[in-house]
Structure 1
Amino acid sequence: MLATYTIIISMSLIIIASFLSYWFQSYFFDQKKEQFLDKSYMIQGIAMKYMERDGDATSQQVNDIITIISKYIKSDIWLTDSMGYVYAVSNKDHKEFMGKQVFGEELDKLRQGHTFEITGPYAGAFDKTVRVYGTPIINESGSFKGSIILYNSIDEISSPLKRVYEIIWISAIFAIIFSCIVIYYFSQKIIIKPLAEINSVARKISNGDVNKRVYLKSNDEIGELAQTFNFMADSVEKNEKNRREFISNVSHEIRSPITSIKGFIGGILDGVIPEEKEKYYLSIAYEEIQRLTRLVNDLLDMSAIEAGEFSLKIIKVDINEIIRLTVIKNETKIKEKRACVDVCFEEDNLFVAGDQDRLVQVITNLLDNSIKYVNEGGKIKISSKTKGRKAFISVFNDGPQIAEEDLLHIWDRFYKADKARTVKDSTGLGLAIVRNIITQLQEDIWVENKDKGVYFTFTLMKVE
């Protein structure tokens, strides 16, 4: 980036310097020409008098005047007659050209009243390159009487120009160097160092140090990038924490039934357990295997949901019938808790749009959760009602209410509000699966404490 900016600025300044050099050269020559034309009127008067043999103008006077003017404008001056012969020069070194004709085709231009301008070896008079200006001398009657020739050696003209060129190009070089320093300083401060810090933190996070963050105080795009990076890092840290907790919870949930199964079966095989107790311990091992099966099935469901491979077959189903069947299937568990289940429907049948198997899973998990946490001999209430195009299904239990700080996490995997309480039948995934199923159906589910208990309520789309 620094190289690119340097090239762009250098090219821009080089173009500007070239333009200024060309412009100043043209401006310098134009000023010389204007200066010559301005002084040529003074020379014309004395030249006309001399050409017309006016007694007031002698050859010496003419030479003196053009010598003075020549020194003033720093250019040599020649005077020629109407035939192009030189009769006066300002530079004594050029007296050899007096009486010689030094014109070619330029004489025709002068006779027509035009000025001319030439750069090069003039009329064979000089071997070196000169810049020549010529202007005609015209009397009042319009007759061509001669011309005034001004010339400068290009070397003499170039001397002051070279100094100007040096100033222009040295200024351009210093401007390029200064620009590079300024760009380097600000790019280091604004871009390079912040990006290097972001890059360093990104590498640390990729190596597992997810607590690292980028601390930049900037209101520009780099500052916005740093904030976005920190948001990403927060998400990575949260996901890493969830992953570790998930692995820890899964390991614990799987290890417990496997340890029990191994202990009971090992005891039977070793003969430690009496023969009359074998059936009892085998039944316990069977329950642990069922628990392990439920855990594996729930994990597979969660994995399918999070991978986007959880497909739903939306059909018209009777949610009331699903509730009835679910209550009947869980009758044994309900009786063990000596709970009273109250089922309330507005109508015998309530048809909704959903996946029948997944809705069975939703009702089963919510009822199972209520049975686990309802008080001994307590009350469970399941109700369905309609409001507009929506069906509202609620599952209530009069067990302990959920603390406010736990309501935000009730849908998390393996989350348990009462850390000291362990329920062997629970995998800790039931409510997470319920929420994901309802979300897949593009519906809502929520939990609230009221009536000295806990309500779980979700919506479904009603169909006729």
Structure 2
Amino acid sequence: MQKKSLFSKMMATYTLIIIISFVIVAAVLSFWFQGYNFRQRETQLSSVSNIVANGAVQYFHGDLSVGNISKILEHVSEYSSSDILLFDNYGYVCAVSKKEHKDFIGYQLLTKDLENLRLGNSIEKKEFQEKIFDIPVYSYIVPIFNRGMFQGAILFNTAMYEIKEPLKEVYQIIWISAVLAMVLSSIVIYYFSQKIIVRPLSKINNVSDKIAKGDVGKRVDINSNDEIGELAKAFNSMADSLEQVENNRRTFISNVSHELRSPITSIKGFIGGIIDGIIPKEKENYYLSIAYEEIQRLTRLINDLLDLSAIEAGKFTLNIQKYDINEIIRLSVIKFETKIKSKKLNVNVWLDDKSVYVLVDRDKIIQVITNLIDNAVKYVEFGGNIEIRTKVRGQKVFVSIYNDGQCIPEEDAKYLWERFYKSDKSRTSKVSTGLGLAIVRSIIVQHGEEIWFKNKQSKGVEFIFTLKRNIK
């Protein structure tokens, strides 16, 4: 089945709307002109009826002969292009405008029409007496009164074709104009639809196909201040995001490959050396211990990758319960006692109240605090200071971990939360996997909270995150 394009559907819809609209307008104008023509005809006959009425009154009173009233009817008939019948006060035809209509003398009006005429009402009919005239006629009957007394009536009969014939030219003009307007409107709509909608959408479609095939650097060049322009901007923004995602993916694969290859190469080298007998027997335990450290590092890296992937994919469920954040911090600090003493660090813990209860997943928050303390211990100078604080503010608890090490350079700040980011490029990859802060941020976001950092004006870096307080 052939697919119909949006443009063809739109053109078909617009064309149908235009045709219906102009047909309605043309039909309304045609009916209006027809009605207008009949009203003009009625006005004309009303004016000439006064001439006939004056002669008819004289005829009814014997002051005018049959020949004279017939001449009056004949002259008025020629002027008004109609056949005239004169009725007496009983509704009988007593005079006609044409000799060939003498057979109508004695014909009587309908009782209902005669009653309306006696009341002074004019009567208009478009098919009156078709049985007599054998053709459709427009009839207009005017009552005759003299000194308030009903004297008779005048019937003007005009063949319908004589009335409608002048309208044919008007109808032709109306319908030809309507057809021309339809064609012109369709051409205008076609042109502007192509320019404003179809071509821009076609550009977007072509670029989207190229992006789908891997050319993520392509962009749509559309300068427009309407919805199409906004769509193009949104599309380019999406393309920028896709390009960034693709770059991140490539960087991630490159970093993972590097981080995995390094320990695997070391392990392979050490074990291979032992098997081949290159490494002396007395050195085997030393190199095996190094290989074991590399395996532990490799295990940490893989665990961090699995944790981060699970968190970002939403494949784990938070076990939210009520816990004392102060107690979690105390236990986390104790784990670093050996590292703290080895670097002779001064650690100050300032906790707001004895107990501060929050709604968290305990294991995940311990992971957050452990990573941040580990980060602080790692980058603080020998004999430096670390401060850990909790602060209650309304419905939130603010937890901050500060170290007075070097500030984070401004050019590195925007990459801080990315995978495999290492602020200190001089450090060996054995110090950190570069995934800690990415995991921390993902866990906090999963809790529906915020985390940020700020460089102190004097010296040091402070990481702050929020937790939901339990006030029950």
TM-score range, shorter chain: 0.7 to 0.9
- In the aligned structure 2, how far is the partner of 1:315 from the partner of 1:80? 108
Query: Cα gap change, 1:64/1:297 in structure 2, threshold over 3 Å: closer, same or farther?
Result: same
Match of 1:358 in 2: 364
Deviation, 1:373, is 3.2
Secondary structure in 2 matching 1:309: coil
Task: Confirm or deny: 8 A CA contact 1:260 1:288 kept in the other structure.
Answer: yes
Match of 1:33 in 2: 42
> Residue deviations 1:250-309, cap 9 Å, x none?
111111111111222222222232222222221111111111100011111111221123
Secondary structure in 1 matching 2:429: coil
Residue identity opposite 1:15 in structure 2: I
Residue identity opposite 1:7 in structure 2: L
Q: Does 1:379 align with 2:405?
A: no
Superposition pairs of residues 5-404 of structure 1, within 5 angstroms: 5-54=14-63, 57=64, 61-79=68-86, 84-89=92-97, 94-98=98-102, 100-101=104-105, 103-106=107-110, 109-110=113-114, 113=118, 115-120=122-127, 122=129, 124-140=131-147, 142=149, 144=151, 146-310=152-316, 311-317=318-324, 318-328=327-337, 331=338, 339-346=343-350, 351-353=356-358, 354-375=360-381, 377-384=382-389, 386=391, 390=397, 392-398=399-405, 400-404=406-410
Range 382-391 or range 159-168, more displaced: 382-391
Residue identity opposite 1:45 in structure 2: N
Secondary structure in 2 matching 1:167: helix
Query: Cα gap change, 1:46/1:262 in structure 2, threshold over 3 Å: closer, same or farther?
Result: same
Residue identity opposite 2:331 in structure 1: I
Query: Cα gap change, 1:104/1:196 in structure 2, threshold over 3 Å: closer, same or farther?
Result: farther
- In the aligned structure 2, how far is the partner of 1:385 from the partner of 1:147? 109
Secondary structure in 2 matching 1:428: coil
Residue identity opposite 1:404 in structure 2: E
> Residue deviations 1:434-458, cap 9 Å, x none?
2333444425342424544444444
Range 425-434 or range 305-314, more displaced: 305-314
Secondary structure in 1 matching 2:84: strand
- In the aligned structure 1, how far is the partner of 2:105 from the partner of 2:470? 117
Query: Cα gap change, 1:356/1:451 in structure 2, threshold over 3 Å: closer, same or farther?
Result: farther
> Residue deviations 1:43-90, cap 9 Å, x none?
121233344343xx555654554344333323233445567345342x
Query: Cα gap change, 1:136/1:407 in structure 2, threshold over 3 Å: closer, same or farther?
Result: closer
Deviation, 1:414, is 0.8
Task: Confirm or deny: 8 A CA contact 1:320 1:350 kept in the other structure.
Answer: no
What number of residue pairs does the alignment pair up? 450
- In the aligned structure 2, how far is the partner of 1:286 from the partner of 1:38? 122
Query: Cα gap change, 1:423/1:66 in structure 2, threshold over 3 Å: closer, same or farther?
Result: same
- In the aligned structure 2, how far is the partner of 1:312 from the partner of 1:32? 92
Gap runs ≥5 in structure 2: 1-9
- In the aligned structure 2, how far is the partner of 1:169 from the partner of 1:264? 96
Give me the identity figure in percent. 48
Range 291-300 or range 76-85, more displaced: 76-85
Secondary structure in 2 matching 1:229: helix
- TM-score scaled by length of structure 1: 0.85
> Residue deviations 1:160-189, cap 9 Å, x none?
122222222222222322332333333333
- In the aligned structure 1, how far is the partner of 2:320 from the partner of 2:111? 106
Gap runs ≥5 in structure 1: none
Deviation, 1:139, is 4.0
Secondary structure in 1 matching 2:158: strand
- In the aligned structure 2, how far is the partner of 1:52 from the partner of 1:95? 23
- In the aligned structure 2, how far is the partner of 1:203 from the partner of 1:405? 35
Secondary structure in 1 matching 2:345: strand
Query: Cα gap change, 1:297/1:397 in structure 2, threshold over 3 Å: closer, same or farther?
Result: farther
Task: Confirm or deny: 8 A CA contact 1:339 1:378 kept in the other structure.
Answer: yes
Residue identity opposite 2:304 in structure 1: D
Deviation, 1:22, is 2.3
Task: Confirm or deny: 8 A CA contact 1:326 1:363 kept in the other structure.
Answer: no
Query: Cα gap change, 1:133/1:325 in structure 2, threshold over 3 Å: closer, same or farther?
Result: same
Match of 2:413 among 407, 412, 426: 407
Deviation, 1:42, is 0.9
Task: Confirm or deny: 8 A CA contact 2:26 2:175 kept in the other structure.
Answer: yes
Query: Cα gap change, 1:380/1:433 in structure 2, threshold over 3 Å: closer, same or farther?
Result: farther
Secondary structure in 1 matching 2:149: coil
- TM-score scaled by length of structure 2: 0.83
Task: Confirm or deny: 8 A CA contact 1:109 1:115 kept in the other structure.
Answer: no
Task: Confirm or deny: 8 A CA contact 1:393 1:458 kept in the other structure.
Answer: yes
Deviation, 1:391, is 5.5
Deviation, 1:215, is 3.1
- In the aligned structure 1, how far is the partner of 2:150 from the partner of 2:356? 119
Residue identity opposite 2:330 in structure 1: E
> Residue deviations 1:383-435, cap 9 Å, x none?
3354657454424153x432122122222111123445433231100122223
Query: Cα gap change, 1:388/1:165 in structure 2, threshold over 3 Å: closer, same or farther?
Result: closer
Task: Confirm or deny: 8 A CA contact 1:319 1:350 kept in the other structure.
Answer: no
Task: Confirm or deny: 8 A CA contact 2:372 2:401 kept in the other structure.
Answer: no
